[in-house]
Structure 1
Amino acid sequence: MPRRPGASAQIEPAQLPTVWLTRDRPPQVVAEKLRSGRWERTSHGVYVAQRATEESPYERARRRALANIAGTDRRLIAPHWFSHESAALLWGLPTWTVPTRTHVLGPRAAGGERTPSIASHVGALADGDLTVVSGLPVTSLARTVADCLATLPPLHGLVIADSALHRGLPVADLTAAVHARTARNGAARARAVLAIADDGAESPGESAARFVVVRDGMPLPTTQVSVGTRLGTYWADLGWEEFRVLLEYDGRTKYGTSADLFDEKRRHDALVETGSRVLRVTSSDLSSLTKRVLPLLPASVSRSLRPRRALAA
């Protein structure tokens, strides 16, 4: 749950776009819709309306992925539930990257070998692992995150776990789901990422910055660090309070106006005046983040640096 005063977060299931299937329209109608630019193809036999408003590449990829989920649901006859990253999308969770395949879980294969756009998972589910989100059958939130932790690269899994915890998933429920998974593959990775998951992360970028320094062997930073300044109390994204080092993650859309920049400059100066050293981080800085942070920490940290192998996979 959010810790910073004024911050709020809750599960907001995805709104599914309207989709059309090839089987439902004469070929000439489909061709005309595509030629006129009113429709776009998202996967074999699935079409969605072109967006009239501008959207980022990430937003467009999410919309197309959700369209494929909706189209897949209409095409499948056998019992099925959307799972893994596809379920995360339906739950409205941010992801580090958008899946290009639709993940389906069921008692039998869902045609994944015949349809490259479907990733089919076979297995039984307990009743508590099943629910409905946005009108579609989906794995529970805890099961969804547990599956993602076990199958995704650690950074990608952490982004999903952090966001779910931040939106109210109890850590006890997630822990139980991780330990309840019967599949052995990815179990160690899931437990390693779960150990550093934190409900204080408010964006994928903050999760990524924390992941990099922890993976590289640095002490686990605190999220949402409270700092009293002459302008009042501010909350840094993450940092090491004992060393008075703070990290602030800056996304591309964080400062929309000159007034935002002015306010952030005052905030930054007020933090520095307390004796804190503030390091600003963007996505381009992640590969070299540990090298930038280490000079700000005691030499003993550098000497004891031991990368965490379980997070390097």
Structure 2
Amino acid sequence: MRSELGQFRDKQFGVFTAQQVRREYTRAELRARVDRQEWVRVFQGVYREAAMPPTPALRVEAARLSMGLPFLAACYDTAAELHGFSVLDDQLTHVLGGQVSRSRRLIVHRDRIDPTELELIQGSVATNAARTAVDVARTANRMDALATLDLALRRGLSRAELAFEVAKQVGRRGRRQAVELIELADHRAESPMESRTRLQCIDAGLPHPEPQVEVRTRDGLRRIDLGWRHWRIGLEYHSATWHSGPAAALRDNPRHNWLTTDGWTIYYADAPDVYHHPDHFTEPIRHAMYRG
């Protein structure tokens, strides 16, 4: 990349505009680099190098340049990415503003915002952590909303901060959901899928499971993703990465053998069950509780 354009890129979180390109390149050179996939269009008139990852800061800056604004703030899940508690993979970019976006990947929200609810994080302006978490909790589907709240608590946000923020949002769409899920949120959840699994158990009418249950067995201290101590029942979420391959049995089998020996019954859930067939694990657990 030629020197002047490289300077623009370095000051702009890795993006540059077509107008900046044309200071040192012809239109034909720009098209050639895009056609060869050396440069990737982020939003209208704004590009990044193919090797440059599309971080939230990069996408927000690209949105600002594309919209020709001096200032732009991230919100909703893009702000959650910046704060480190996003659980989504959709790569949409959410910003506050009054313009209409011409890109399906750029969502402009016309929400009312108090300047005190904005902060600088990773060099980008975004809604603060409490406002962000509550906005996502109001608008995301229930499983993603709870997973976001769990992770926000794990990252250091307090339940009191969430309660204070949601109290300010009277009349806003989805506030009732946010209020409900803030009460259910738990910092002990160690993954978004554990959070989603826990909510499916609650929505099925089971007693609320305890996350990361510690059980002292004759083989040492063991932990279960979710558990009901009264019934000595545990529920493990099986991810494709951790619970697969030849090492999985070496990790899981001895642990579960000791739990079974000590009177625990362990059930399992995977992603298809959690998203589409929660009864595959909630009903066997319900029947086991009734038998107990």
Question: What range is the shorter-chain TM-score in?
Answer: 0.7 to 0.9
State how far apart, in whole Å, the 1-side matches of 2:260 and 2:49 are.
49
Report the secondary structure of 2:90's partner residue.
coil
Between 114-123 and 183-192, the greater mean CA deviation after superposition: 114-123
Note the alpha carbon deviations across 1:153-210, whole angstroms, 9 max, x for none.
1112111111111111111111111111254211111112212111111111101111
| Matching residue within 228, 232, 242 for 1:240 | 228
In the alignment, what sits opposite 1:25?
21
The alpha-carbon distance between structure 1 residues 209 and 134, as it changes in their structure 2 partners (threshold 3 A), is same
Q: How does 1:87-106 map to 2 (within 5 A)?
A: 87-100=79-92, 102-106=93-97
Shift of 1:121: 2.2
Shift of 1:103: 1.6
State how far apart, in whole Å, the 2-side matches of 1:295 and 1:189 are.
28
Note the alpha carbon deviations across 1:213-267, whole angstroms, 9 max, x for none.
2122222111111111122111111121112111111222215763454122221
The alpha-carbon distance between structure 1 residues 169 and 41, as it changes in their structure 2 partners (threshold 3 A), is same
The alpha-carbon distance between structure 1 residues 248 and 114, as it changes in their structure 2 partners (threshold 3 A), is same
| Matching residue within 246, 270, 280 for 1:282 | 270
State how far apart, in whole Å, the 2-side matches of 1:290 and 1:183 are.
34
Report the secondary structure of 1:94's partner residue.
coil
* Aligned CA-pair RMSD: 2.7
Quick one: which amino acid aligns to residue 231 of structure 1? Answer: D
In the alignment, what sits opposite 1:147?
135
In the alignment, what sits opposite 1:47?
47
Report the secondary structure of 1:195's partner residue.
helix
Quick one: which amino acid aligns to residue 83 of structure 1? Answer: C
| Matching residue within 62, 65, 78 for 1:74 | 65
Report the secondary structure of 2:250's partner residue.
helix
Shift of 1:74: 3.4
Shift of 1:48: 2.7
Report the secondary structure of 1:48's partner residue.
strand
Q: How does 1:1-313 map to 2 (within 5 A)?
A: 18-26=14-22, 27-51=27-51, 63=54, 67-75=58-66, 76-77=68-69, 79-100=71-92, 102-106=93-97, 109=98, 111-255=99-243, 258-286=246-274, 287-298=276-287
Number of residues of Structure 1 aligned to a counterpart in Structure 2:
274
Quick one: which amino acid aligns to residue 233 of structure 2? Answer: V
State how far apart, in whole Å, the 1-side matches of 2:109 and 2:239 are.
35
Q: Which consecutive residues of structure 2, in runs of 5 or more, have no partner in the other structure?
A: 1-11
Quick one: which amino acid aligns to residue 72 of structure 1? Answer: A
Shift of 1:298: 4.8
Task: Tell me, yes or no, if the aligned pair for 2:43 and 2:103 is still in contact at 8 Å.
Answer: no
Between 131-140 and 250-259, the greater mean CA deviation after superposition: 250-259
Task: Tell me, yes or no, if the aligned pair for 1:206 and 1:249 is still in contact at 8 Å.
Answer: yes
State how far apart, in whole Å, the 2-side matches of 1:281 and 1:200 are.
19
The alpha-carbon distance between structure 1 residues 173 and 64, as it changes in their structure 2 partners (threshold 3 A), is closer
Identity within the alignment, %: 27
TM-score (norm 2): 0.83
Task: Tell me, yes or no, if the aligned pair for 2:46 and 2:65 is still in contact at 8 Å.
Answer: no
TM-score (norm 1): 0.78
State how far apart, in whole Å, the 1-side matches of 2:169 and 2:192 are.
25
Task: Tell me, yes or no, if the aligned pair for 2:268 and 2:281 is still in contact at 8 Å.
Answer: no
State how far apart, in whole Å, the 1-side matches of 2:232 and 2:218 are.
17
State how far apart, in whole Å, the 1-side matches of 2:244 and 2:271 are.
18
In the alignment, what sits opposite 1:11?
none
Task: Tell me, yes or no, if the aligned pair for 1:148 and 1:157 is still in contact at 8 Å.
Answer: yes
Task: Tell me, yes or no, if the aligned pair for 2:43 and 2:63 is still in contact at 8 Å.
Answer: no
Shift of 1:296: 2.9
Q: Which consecutive residues of structure 1, in runs of 5 or more, have no partner in the other structure?
A: 1-15, 53-59, 303-313
